[in-house]
Amino acid sequence: MAYYVSSVATIIILKMAKFILATVSILTSSEDNTPLDDVSTLSAIKTEERPQGVIMIDNYTLNSIGTMLSIFDDVIRRYETNKKVIKDVDDELNDIEHVIEFANIDAVERLKVYAEYKEARQRRRELKNENNRLRPFYKLLQENEDFRHKLTRVSSQVKDKTRAQHNKGYEARVRGDLINKYLE
């Protein structure tokens, strides 16, 4: 059963990435083929105006991938932080329980200790509930950690190549006079 769930999760992640790259990145801007700068430009593009077979990874796509990676990292960080805080709250509850067990305190102080105990239990429950909601996604990301690293690496490579293409120039092989006259 666990193998089946893991396989299905992997397929879902791969299809999600493929969908993002296939649908959003096929978009080209205008005739000058400059990358899209915002989402509003997206709706202005008509499908029939796009050249067939031309794929352009634009700023919107890179930002979407960046957002997706950020969400992945946030889920992992939040889940692991919650686990540590739950451990700290458990230790706090243990201390309070020992005070209740061993301290000789009056009724007013006992109510104060009880209020602290109740507040700590409520904080612990909120953290546990949040981790219960995050756990399926966390496990999915842990099982497919290489996908996240590959997506990060590919996104970085695309950004580097885009920068390199933007700064690209031409160096004359023979006719430097023409290049200097018309291209500089």
Here the contacts of 57-60 (C-beta below 8 Å, separation 24 or greater) are 57/21, 57/25, 57/158, 57/162, 58/24, 58/25, 58/27, 58/28, 58/29, 59/35, 60/24, 60/27, 60/36
Residue-level pLDDT at 180: 78
- Give residue limits of the domains in the chain: 2-149
Cβ atoms of 85 and 40 within 8 Å: the answer is no
The residue ranges of the chain whose pLDDT is under 50 are 1-6, 21-48, 50, 54
Tokens describing residue 126: 């909120």
pLDDT of residue 42: 39
Tokens of 172: 């004359």
Distance, CA of 127 to CA of 161 (rounded, Å):
42
